[in-house]
Amino acid sequence: MFWRKQRLNYKLDQSFLLNTKLRNMPFTVFDTETTGFAIAADDGLIEIGAVHVEKSEVTNRVFQTFVKPLGEIPEYITRLTSIEQYHVENAPTALEAIESYFQFIEDTKSGGWIGHHVSFDTLVIKKELQRVKYSYEEPTSFDTLDLIDYLNPSWDQLDLKEYAQLFGTPLFERHRALGDALTTAHLFVELLKHLEEKGIITLADLLRLKHSNLRLKTARF
């Protein structure tokens, strides 16, 4: 028997004209914490954190929730994140948590997702929904790593903390979803200033940068 996926109908990506100035756009900067890195197998969500960025400023509109995983949190993840089993025992299920997160995005009228290694976090969301036979229309996303690579392609890849220190932006609690989202949000706002100096001013410019980076990554393989 084939199961038809149900779609979550949230407005996750507002429509903006391509000539919209980036400094005028709203974005959702988000991060996830998981029981491990084998997301395509058995590892899953234990926390989602997000912060709303608008007009090149980090706002006080934030989102955070723990998530009850299917299994136990491994000790090495607790050491890394400080998230213990008791934090998630009475937490929402992955579906409930994701729906609350999507509602936050819809309420803030986001223009897209921002993340550090954003492909991992979007995969986490996608896989959790697939487990319960749900789908969604993924919004446009941008990775701070791609923006940094454009600004200085000679740099070796560093940790989020090191990038925050290099660009002189605030550092929040590491390996916690909201803390990393806040660190990434402040870094993103600073990167927008540097991108503007390079002529990356509009949504169209940022999309061209993203697609150019995707072509380069594909060519490397």
pLDDT tens figures, 194-217: 999 999 999 999 999 998 876 455
pLDDT for res 3: 53
d(CA 50, CA 31): 6
Mean predicted lDDT score pLDDT of the chain: 93
Strand partners, 26: 54
Interatomic CA distance for residues 28 and 178, integer angstroms: 12
Enter the pTM of the model. 0.94
| Contact by Cβ (8 Å): 194, 176 | no
Distance between CA 175 and CA 192 in Å, rounded? 24
Chain-centre distance for alpha carbon 98: 13
pLDDT for res 220: 45
Work out the end-to-end distance of the chain between its first and last CA atoms, rounded to an integer number of angstroms.
38
Give the span between the Cα atoms of 25 and 3, in whole angstroms.
Answer: 38
Each residue of 19-49: pLDDT tens digit?
A: 999 999 999 999 999 999 999 888 999 999 9
What pLDDT score was predicted for residue 155? 75
Residue 157 three-state SS: coil
Give pLDDT < 50 ranges for the chain.
Answer: 1-2, 215, 218-221
- Give pLDDT, residue 126: 96
